[in-house]
Structure 1
Amino acid sequence: MSTKHRVRLFDMQFITACISTAMVLILLGLMLFLVLSAHRLSVYVRENLNFTVLLNNDAPESAILALQKRLDSEAFVKASAYISKEEALKEEVETMGSDPVEFLGYNPFSPSIELKLHAAYANADSVAWIKERILADKLVTDIDYRQGLMDSVNRNISKLSIGLLAVAALLTLISFALINNTVRLTIYSKRFLIHTMKLVGAGWGFIRRPFLRRNFWVGLSSGVLADAVLVAAAYTLVSYEPGLLAVITTDILLWVMLSTLLFGVLITCMCAYISINKYLRLSAGDLYYM
C-alpha cells in the first residue's frame, strides 16, 4: 500500500469516524454485557440465599456430620456448613455485642447446618419438597429460610431480564441509526467523486471497493477501541470489588468483546454498501439537490 493511499485511508475524517463509532459500540457492549451477565447474576444471588437446617440440641456431633454428608450428596445442595451451638453463640456475641448466657444462664442456640442450594432449586416449588425431604430426618427440628426474599429475587430477576432485552433491542436500533448516519455523511462528501468514477467507466464493484475497505478498518478500529474501554472498565470493577468475579466471568467478557468487534465491522460495511449503492444509482442532476 503506497504512502499516498495510506494518507487517504487514515486521515482525520477516519479518526473522527472511529471515535464516534467506538462511543456507540461501548454503549452497545455495556448493554450486551448486562444481558449476558443477568443469568450469572441471578445464579449468584440464588446460590447465596441461606437455607438453615435447625437440629436437636442433644444431637451428637457424629450424627450431625453424617447428616451433613448425606445432604452434600443431594443434587440440590451446592455447599453446606455445620455450625455448632458454641459457634452460633460466638457469632451472636460478635454481632450483637452481648452474651445471652449472662442473663439466660444457658446457651439458647441450637446446632444447625447452613445450606446453599443450586440456583435451579432456589424457587418456591423446589424448596417445598426439599423442606419436606429434610424434615423427615429425626435430627431436624425445623428449617429456616426467607421465602419472601427468595420469591422477590426470582420475580425481580425475571422483570430485569425482560427489561434488559427490550432496552438491548432498542439500543441496537439506535446504534444502527447512529453508525449509519456517520458512514452516510462520510460517503456523502465523496458523492461527486463517485459520479466522476462512473463517468470514466469504472464498474460499481471497483467504485465500492475502497469505500468498503475504508469502512472495514473504521469498524475494526472502533471495535478494538471499544473492547479496550470495556476491558479496562471490567478490570477496574473487579479490582474494586473482587466478588464481582462471580458475575464478570472470562467467557462473558470474551463474548462481549467478540460481539462488539464483529458488530462494528459488519454494521460499518453494511451501511457503507447501502450508501454507496444509493449514490451509484443517482444521476448528476440529483447530486446537487441532496
Structure 2
Amino acid sequence: MTTSSYDSFQKRRLQSSYVSVVVSISLVLFMIGVLGLVLLKSTRVANHFKEKVVMTLFLKDDVTKKQVTDLQKHIQKQGFTKRITYVTKEQAAKIYKRDLGEDFLKFLGDNPLKNGLDIYLKAEYVTPEKMTQIEKDFNKNNFVAEVNYDKPLVELLTKNIQRMSFWLLVLSGFFGLVAIILINSSIRLSIYSKRFNIKTMQMVGATKSFIRKPFIWQSIKLGLLGAVIAMICLGFLIYYVDKYIPTLALLKDYITLGYVAGGIIFVAFFITWISTFFATQRFLNLQTNDLYY
C-alpha cells in the first residue's frame, strides 16, 4: 500500500469514527431531551392542577366590608397566596342554583350561605401538611367562621404527583447512565485509534495537558454538533406534538424549551469533556507494549 493510499485510508477511517461519535451523541441527547421535556412539562401540568385547588374562608355575618377588604389585602400579601376572590352569599346562591338546577331559596326562604374568600394557593403549598397548617392559622382569625377545602383531593394529588416524580427521576437516572456509557464508549473508540499518536507525542516530550487539549477540544466540537442535531430532531418532534395536541402549548412554553435546550448543550459539553479526559489519561499512563492489546 502506497503512502498516499494509506493516508487516504486513515482519513476515511477517522471521518467514519467522527460520524459514529456524532450519531451516538445525537441519539442519546435526543432521548435525554425527550425525557427532559416530559419531566419539565409534567411538573408544570402538576402545578397547574395544584393551583386549581381552592381553600374557602366562610366569614362571620357581622364582618363589615372594610374588614373583608383589609383581610383580603392581608391574605394577598402572604407567600402562599396565588390569587384570592371575594364571593358574596348572593353570588354563592346563584352558583348553587346553577349547579343544582333549581332554586333552593324557594324552599328555605332565607339565604343560609355565608360570604366567603376563595383562596388559590401556590403549587408548592398544596400539600396535606402545609394546607392543614394554613387552615389552623385561619381558624384563629376572628373574622373566619369556617375553613373548607377538598382534603381527599389534595391528598390524592400529592400522592400521585410524588409517585409520578419518583418514577420519572428513576427513568432520568437510567437514561443519564446510558448516555454516559454510550458517549464514553464512542469517544474511547475514537481515541483508541490514535493511541500510537498519543504515545509518540508523549515520547518526544509533550506534556499530558498539551496532548489532551486537542482531543478534548475535538470531542467537545463533536458533542456540540451532536447537540445541534438532537435539538433539530427534537424541534420537529415538538412541532408535530404541538400540532396534534395543541393543549400542551409546547411551542409557546419558552421557559421549558429553554431549559431543555440548555440541558442538552450542558450534557453534550460535560460528558464529552470528562470522557475524553479520562480516555486520553488512560492511554497516557499505558506502557508502549500495552498499546497493542
User: TM-score, normalised to structure 2's length?
Assistant: 0.69
Partner residue, 1:71: 75
Structure 1 window deviating more from structure 2 (22-31 vs 270-279): it is 270-279
1:217 aligns with 2:244: no
Instruction: Kindly provide the CA deviation profile for residues 38-94 of structure 1, in whole angstroms up to 9, marking residues without a partner as x.
Output: 776665444332101224578665654454334334444331112234433444455
Matches within 5 A, 1:24-35: 24-32=28-36
Q: Secondary structure in 2 aligned to 1:99?
A: coil
2:26 corresponds in structure 1 to 22
Say whether residues 1:134 and 2:168 are aligned partners: no
Which of 256, 264, 267 is the equivalent residue of 1:263?
267
The amino acid across from 2:102 in the alignment is: D
Change (3 A) 1:69 1:210: closer
What's 2:4 paired with?
Answer: none
Aligned-residue offset at 1:24:
0.7
Name the SS of the counterpart of 1:167 in structure 2: helix
User: Which residue of structure 1 aligns with residue 107 of structure 2?
Assistant: 104
Q: Does 1:240 align with 2:241?
A: no
Query: Could you say which residue in structure 1 is the equivalent of 2:187?
Result: 183
For structure 1, the 5+ residue unaligned runs are: none
Matched residue count: 279
Please give the TM-score of this superposition, normalised by the length of structure 1. Answer: 0.69
CA distance in 1, matches of 2:232, 2:217: 23
Task: Give the conservation status (yes or no) of the 8 Å contact 1:53–1:113.
Answer: yes
Letter in 2 for 1:272: T
Q: Deviations over 1:236-282 (max 9, x none)?
A: 65982367899x562x5444433321321232243334444555636
Distance in 2 between residues matched to 1:134 and 1:278, nearest whole Å: 64
Question: Offset of 1:179 from its aligned partner?
Answer: 0.9
Whether the 8 Å CA contact 1:25–1:226 is kept in 2: the answer is yes
More moved, 135-144 vs 179-188 = 135-144
Task: Report the alpha carbon displacement of residue 115 of structure 1 after superposing the two structures with TM.
Answer: 0.5
Distance 2:166 2:272 in 1: 29
- Residue 208 to residue 69, structure 1, CA distance change in 2 (3 Å): closer
Q: Deviations over 1:18-55 (max 9, x none)?
A: 23211211223444556667776665444332101224
Q: Which runs of 5+ in 2 are unaligned?
A: 1-7
